[in-house]
A and B are shown apart, each in its own frame.
Chain A
Amino acid sequence: MTPQGAMIAVELSADQERLAKEVSSAVAAGAGIVVLRGDDRSPWQAAIGELRRSGLTIAVDASNVISADVFSARPDIACLPFSDTDLAERNLYIHRTLAEMVEFCELAMSANIGAGGIVANSGAAWTLDHLWGRGLLADPVFVELPFAVPGGQWAPASFDALTYRLGLLSAVCIPFVSVAGIDAVSAKELLTLALAIGAHVVVPAARVEWACELASALGRVPARRWPPPRLDGASANA
């Protein structure tokens, strides 16, 4: 395995005042992608222009927003969870039909926006493969792999869980690992392991510098351009 440039994606807050500061510090630290999450149009839609000037690749996590809003904002990548959402801390359940996911991918394709996905478990990996098999996703596919999120999409922040999930992904996927509770030792360990075996990471703004320094120390200079270099070995056999 020859791990190459690690791509650090920064998860931005939904607070518009903080967002601008976070973007500039993320750029300075070495982030390559911003991941915008939010329940409604603002503030991330208003910030798209500013983000464009930053040169960062823009990915929007459309877990909780209306699909049409996502595409009208014209991010580079739009992501949908390829499974139902079950977040215990917010007591939030969202059922996502296969038809909804198909429509999302078709909209992304027609808008020339890269469709990506959140693969929280093995079933989501099956769905991703299914969508790929129907020609609804384009190579490469941005894939976020969340860990330690309380609720029905939980998986432990462990090396076993990481390699198991990575082993489910096809070669067209570019895996980004995220961990809930970033300050826990287990979370930092998992992100370190992810970088060590060739995956990429998504971290909150306050942790971008930490992740970039860590990636560099592991011989993986942070990559700025999407897609990052192809990796041989981000797999269960790493």
Chain B
Amino acid sequence: MSQRAVVLTACLNTYGSVSYPATPHTVHEIIASAVDANASGAAVAHIHGLHGMDEQGRATKPDLRAWQAIVEGIRRQCEMVVQFGVTVMDEADRLSVLDTARPDMMAVTLGDVHGIVEGKELYARHDRGELASLLARLREYGVTPELEVFNEGAIWNARWLIEKRLLRPRSDFLFFTLPVAFPGGIHSPANLHSLAYRSSLLPHDSEWQGICFVEPKGTATPAEQWRILAGSVALGGHTRVGVEDSPYFADGADAGSNAELVERLAWIVRNLGHRPAEAGELRARLSFR
């Protein structure tokens, strides 16, 4: 395969009680982390904006002003594509951050989410009616969906959406995320067969990235994660790294920042004979209108 522009996404943060030294917490820290990750080779900033917290440390309602400030702050400093991670938020909250902050991309999980996070069950239902209305809203705003495919059923839903003309291969930029190693009912094993198989079922003219969750949030080891990330690129996909998925360089070795993780991933991409995509060139390809 000739040299490709590989889209690297930096998943900068998450919410919940798991936190690492490299996790940015405030609006300013998230913006700074995005800008640094962009300088290291990431074209996309996948972010979870700020939320209120209940007494158990669980995220409650989104702080809409903070989500908006993060988008504006990143846009002021670089061309990075801003992508919202909203998988476990309810429909009303997802729509409110979309309406308020207008990212460039937003996660759309193509089916129910039934996972285990920090020993607790997490359930978010995304039925086909909801998917249809969310995609219509994204199209109205020109926000490109990041289509999450935890298993083959999600691909059936993608085909259903294509049949309904709510996703339009060729004219839309169809970008799928294939996660592995998220524990629970959405689990896929941390191996390349899992990625190769699911990617083979995707619509023509679509792109995909492989992502991997590391213990304690996920079921993979740090070494397994790096094999999945490198393997995603070798299989023709894109990939992502950052403290949402794992803060580790290797087993037992913490990264100091999201930028350091991106730098390492960019090195792997170049070592394979490819290059990290520039944010501007990805932005030019985004299309969902």
Tell me if chain B binds chain A.
Answer: yes
**Residues of A with Cβ closer than 8 Å to B?**
82-84, 86, 88, 93, 95, 97-99, 120-127, 150-156, 160-161, 164, 167-168, 236
Contact between B185 and A83, CB atoms less than 8 A apart: yes
Contact between B152 and A83, CB atoms less than 8 A apart: no
Contact between B156 and A123, CB atoms less than 8 A apart: no
The answer for the CA separation of A214 and B185 in the assembled complex, in Å, is 35
Contact between B114 and A152, CB atoms less than 8 A apart: no
Q: Which residues of B contact A86 (CB under 8 A)?
A: 111-112, 127, 153
What residue in chain A is nearest B159 (Cβ atoms)?
A154
Contact between A156 and B185, CB atoms less than 8 A apart: no
The answer for the CA separation of A164 and B121 in the assembled complex, in Å, is 26
Binds A, one of B13-21, B63-71, B136-144, B189-197: B189-197
Contact between A164 and B123, CB atoms less than 8 A apart: no
Q: Which residues of B contact A83 (CB under 8 A)?
A: 114, 185
> Is residue B183 within 8 Å, beta carbon to beta carbon, of the partner chain?
yes
Since A83-B114, A123-B186 are in contact, a sample of 8 more A-B pairs with Cβ atoms closer than 8 Å, ordered by chain A residue number, is A95-B125, A121-B151, A123-B184, A123-B187, A155-B151, A161-B152, A164-B193, A236-B193
CB distance from B193 to the nearest CB of A (A): 7
Given known contacts A168-B189, A236-B193, is B114 in contact with A123 (CB within 8 Å)? yes
Contact between B153 and A120, CB atoms less than 8 A apart: yes
The answer for the CA separation of A150 and B185 in the assembled complex, in Å, is 18
Interface centre among A123, A124, A156, A164 (most CB of B within 10 A): A123
Q: Which residues of B contact A99 (CB under 8 A)?
A: 121
Contact of A124 among B121, B125, B185, B189 (CB under 8 A): B185
Contact of B150 among A123, A127, A151, A156 (CB under 8 A): A123
Q: Which residues of A contact B114 (CB under 8 A)?
A: 83-84, 95, 123
Q: Which residues of A contact B111 (CB under 8 A)?
A: 86, 152
Q: Which residues of B contact A95 (CB under 8 A)?
A: 112, 114, 123, 125
Given known contacts A95-B125, A122-B189, A164-B193, is B184 in contact with A154 (CB within 8 Å)? no
Contact between A126 and B184, CB atoms less than 8 A apart: yes
CB distance from A99 to the nearest CB of B (A): 8
CB distance from B236 to the nearest CB of A (A): 16
The answer for the CA separation of A164 and B185 in the assembled complex, in Å, is 16
Given known contacts A83-B114, A93-B127, A164-B194, is B188 in contact with A123 (CB within 8 Å)? yes
Contact between A88 and B128, CB atoms less than 8 A apart: yes
Contact between A126 and B187, CB atoms less than 8 A apart: yes
Q: Which residues of A contact B155 (CB under 8 A)?
A: 154
Q: Which residues of B contact A122 (CB under 8 A)?
A: 151, 187-189, 194
Interface centre among A97, A121, A152, A168 (most CB of B within 10 A): A152
Chain B window 112-124, contacts with chain A (Cβ cutoff 8 Å), 1 for yes, 0 for no = 1010100001010
The answer for the CA separation of A25 and B151 in the assembled complex, in Å, is 38
Contact between A152 and B153, CB atoms less than 8 A apart: yes
Closest 9 CB pairs of A and B: A126-B187, A154-B156, A152-B153, A121-B151, A123-B185, A155-B152, A122-B188, A152-B111, A123-B187
> Is residue B154 within 8 Å, beta carbon to beta carbon, of the partner chain?
yes
Q: Which residues of A contact B184 (CB under 8 A)?
A: 98, 123, 126-127
Q: Which residues of A contact B128 (CB under 8 A)?
A: 88
The answer for the CA separation of A161 and B123 in the assembled complex, in Å, is 26
What residue in chain B is nearest A93 (Cβ atoms)?
B127
The answer for the CA separation of A98 and B115 in the assembled complex, in Å, is 10
Q: Which residues of B contact A164 (CB under 8 A)?
A: 193-194, 197
